[in-house]
Structure 1
Amino acid sequence: MAEVLARAHLPKTTYIASAGVKGGESDPFVDAILKEECLPIIARQPRKLDDLGDGYFDLIVTMSPEAHHYTLNHTMGDAVDVEFWPIPDPSATTGSRDQILAAYRDVFHRIEVKIKELRQRSS
């Protein structure tokens, strides 16, 4: 979600790559929310930070304590800013489909607000 939102709200000249600490499968609830918001679905498996290769980034945004600690440990000495945006993990939500989708919508909107704030700061 974060990558798609960043691509929608940040300048087209911004290099954006999304990765996590763990590998995994595509999340159908993410796809459902992106579809609701009329945004494109990325047709690839989620990547791990180690899969991104060169590591030449100006900013890395982390959204979980685990990702933040991992990133700080693996970027020591690199000229990169690391920001922590504490965002709940919607995949941990239990309940009905509607309750789970509500959690994903909440995360979508939280990320969207943070990206818009980032865009404002960068202007």
Structure 2
Amino acid sequence: MCALNAVRSPMAEAMAKHFFGKSIYVQSAGAKKGETDPFALAVLEEIGIDARKHRPKSIEELEEWEGLNFDLIVTLSPEAHHKALDLTRTTAAEVEYWPTADPSAVQGSREQVLDAYREVRDGLMRRIKARLRG
């Protein structure tokens, strides 16, 4: 879960699904709903993951569709973390906060921006593999 379900959480969802397939159930959402970021899609494609079918959703939409029957909610932004903690008042899910910079805030050349997205991608990949392995 991140702020807009546009950059960080879609990247995390796509990687978790890629690495773990159907052995775990993963969905991403945002505290609010944004638009999928093309740079996030580009850096995922660099590692062989196609996330073009991702459609951003808010945590409220996910709750309506799925009922929030999750064992673990990983939050990547302060806004998402506060929202997840509010949810755990009525849901028995563990919440972990993985502070993750928003690469869309980086300015500079296209390559500098892509490097910021790659850094986020690679950091999330390491954490996902370490946390969900086993």
* Aligned partner (choices 62, 83, 92) of residue 75 of structure 2: 62
Deviations 1:4-57 (A, max 9, x none): 111122352311101111211111001111111111224142111111120110
The sequence identity of aligned pairs, in percent, is 45
- SS across alignment from 1:10: helix
For the residues of structure 1 that align with 2:90 and 2:29, how far apart are their CA atoms? 20
Q: Which residue matches 2:91? A: 78
Does 92-101 or 43-52 show the bigger shift?
Answer: 43-52
Q: Taking structure 1 as the reference length, what is the TM-score of the superposition?
A: 0.92
Corresponding position of 1:23:
33
Moved more, 6-15 or 61-70: 6-15
Match of 2:46 in 1: 36
Q: Which runs of 4+ in 1 moved over 4 A?
A: none
Alignment gaps of 5+ in structure 1: none
C-alpha RMSD of matched pairs (Å): 1.2
CA distance in 2 between partners of 1:119 and 1:14 (Å): 9
Determine the structure 2 residue equivalent to 1:8.
18
How far apart are residue 114 of structure 1 and its match?
0.5
Unaligned segments of structure 2, at least 5 residues: 1-10
Preserved contact between residue 19 and residue 47 of structure 1 (Cα < 8 Å):
yes
Instruction: Tell me the distance in 2 between the aligned counterparts of 1:90 and 1:47.
Output: 19
**Which stretch of the first structure deviates more once superposed, 42-51 or 77-86?**
42-51
Match of 1:92 among 77, 101, 105: 105
TM-score of the aligned structures, taking structure 2 as reference length: 0.85
Q: How many residues align?
A: 121
